[in-house]
Amino acid sequence: MARVYEKSLRGDPLRVAVVCSRFNEVVTGRLLKGALDGLSACGVTEDAVEVARVPGAFEIPLIAEQFAQSGDFDAIVCLGAVIRGETAHFDFISDFVVNEIGRIMVRHHVPIALGVLTPNTVEQGLARSGGQHGDKGHEAAETAVEMSNLMKLVRGRSE
């Protein structure tokens, strides 16, 4: 019979780092609250969570890299809101942030949950940060816990 690795949202005794941008605070503050609530709901203790607030989404990968490199965390949650404007700036920032977060995750073998929203409007960001379209901060927290547990299972298969 095939070995199947199942979803687990058991957060104790995980250590989780959260990187959250301050830019577009009206959205990112809600994402952060959702992520912290999600980690708590999974059983991650408050003293096992470290939060770094960075100026904007562009700075998220640098701090995520530091957390990943430290080896102190089972998972990282990255939160931000890059809202489309009238220039190509949106495309450059969102592409860079998403690509770098992916590279950091693969390079350091640390699960990183992508909670960086790329809405067209502030209203769309609000709808996805605890509004009518869900709570992407909470979802990112659950993803971090689930992937951390899955990594432990997969790593342990050869032990």
Which sequence spans correspond to the domains of the chain? 16-149
Active site residues per annotation: 89
- pTM for the structure as a whole: 0.96
CATH number (3.40.50.960, 3.40.50.1000, 3.40.50.280, 1.10.3720.10) of 16-149 reads 3.40.50.960
- Count the neighbouring beta carbons within 10 Å of the beta carbon of residue 7: 10
Q: What angle do CA 109, 49, 94 make, to 5 degrees?
A: 60
pLDDT tens per residue, the chain (159 residues)?
898 888 999 999 999 999 999 999 999 999 999 999 999 999 999 999 999 999 999 999 999 999 999 999 999 999 999 999 888 999 999 999 999 999 999 999 999 999 999 999 999 999 999 999 999 999 999 999 999 999 999 988 655
